Amino acid sequence: MLNRNIAWVSPARFQPFLTACDSNQELAWQLYEWNAKVASSLFECFHHVEVLLRNAMMAKLSKIHPLAYPWQQDLGSVVKAAERRMDATTKVASPDSIISEVTLGFWTNLLEQRPANEELWRQHLRHAFPGSPGTRESVHKAVTDMRNLRNRCAHQDSLLDFDPAIELKKLLSLVEWIDPDARPWLEHLETVSEVSDARPVQPERDVVVVGASAEQSIAMYAKVAAYVCPSDRSFAPVAFMGFYANKQIEAHFPAIEDKIVPARWHKEEVQRLKASGAEADQRLAKIMGYALSNGWDAGGQFQVFFLSDKKSPNTIKRAGEKPIPHLKTGRGSAFVQNKRYFSRAALLAADNTEHLDE
């Protein structure tokens, strides 16, 4: 057996992988090493997306008169970049070298919701994202989401709470906003899908239970067998989904059949998808059309989970189709506000939610 030493990693950094593998050190090492491969494959995508992003933004910013150039937003970082890239002979840094040197945070800051950026977005930067919903907030959220995950990978953090397949699709949607022709190029290059499928240890807690509104999410599942939420929410890799509402976990746990991060979310996109001959497009059109008619705003950023319906043999059902009641009351007693993860065995055996916390 290959010799490995936890001291190389540190016990604190290694602990999430031990926990995920029920303290089996050999499996935990395999999962830890796989985690690094996921980060590496994502970094390849970050490389291409970040270059595409800054070049698209610069193509619009370069049209501004030099006196109105936006470097004043964070002049210190630009000065330092120029110093690092200064030519030894001319003592001047070229614009291209400065652009390549400033951090992703610089470009993200130009998209923030601040008064100084308003005209910059309206007159120039919005044209760098012609396929986006058209709002600065939507683009800023997508770029910030990418930056946060990029930093997590750069700091060698655990990615066990992130589904690489979903994170890749978020990146692909951002690319499509900038240039639709760049999306198939990145899809051809990416290795995230292959690495993600090679996960050596599958999560024991393979069901995510989401806090749901009976009027929205549970109704949507009943009508179109789907779940929709904002695209900046992260999910660990799971196989099934459950719904918590009205002080109980519903009795059905549908299988997650696919995950989509649509680049566009409006009625025109519904019509385009309907005209497609692809089965997935037809299904997404039905879900998007339902959502737009029931409270999900046009132009929003969402991720869509295709779910098996209640009658499907792939849907897990509790005995007697009895929900799991939550008996605690009082302030702060909510069982699920965002999401929680459980094993399917625990959900099938529990008489109430207290049994899930044991």
Q: What digits encode the pLDDT tens for the residues 212-231?
A: 776 789 999 999 999 999 99
Q: What is the dihedral of CA 171, 176, 182, 187, to 10 degrees?
A: 50
Whether the predicted pLDDT of 60 surpasses 70: yes
- pLDDT for 214 equals 67
Residue 80 pLDDT grade (very low, low, confident, very high; cuts 50, 70, 90) = low
Residue with tokens 């909510």: 334
More confident residue, 207 or 97: 207
Tell me how far apart the alpha carbons of residues 24 and 86 are, in angstroms, rounded to a whole number. Answer: 52
- pLDDT tier, 119 (very low <50, low <70, confident <90, very high otherwise): confident
Measured in residues, the chain has a length of 358
pLDDT tens digits for 317-333? 999 999 999 998 877 67
User: In whole angstroms, how large is the CA radius of gyration of the chain?
Assistant: 23
CA angle 348, 351, 354 (to 5 degrees): 105
For residue 14, which amino acid is it?
F
- Show Cβ contacts of residue 308 under 8 Å, excluding neighbours closer than 6 positions: 225, 254, 255, 257, 314, 315
CA separation (Å) from 44 to 40, 108, 168?
7, 19, 11
Per-residue pLDDT of 40-57, as tens digits, reads 999 999 999 999 999 999
**pLDDT in the model for residue 91:** 47
- 194 class by beta-carbon count within 10 Å (0-12 exposed, 13-18 middle, 19+ buried): exposed
Per the rule left: phi > 0, alpha: psi between -120 and 50, beta: everything else, 22 is: left
Give the per-residue pLDDT at 67: 45
For residue range 281-297, list pLDDT tens digits in order. 999 999 999 999 998 98
Residue 112 binned pLDDT confidence (cut-offs 50, 70, 90): confident
Q: What is the mean pLDDT of residues 203-208?
A: 94
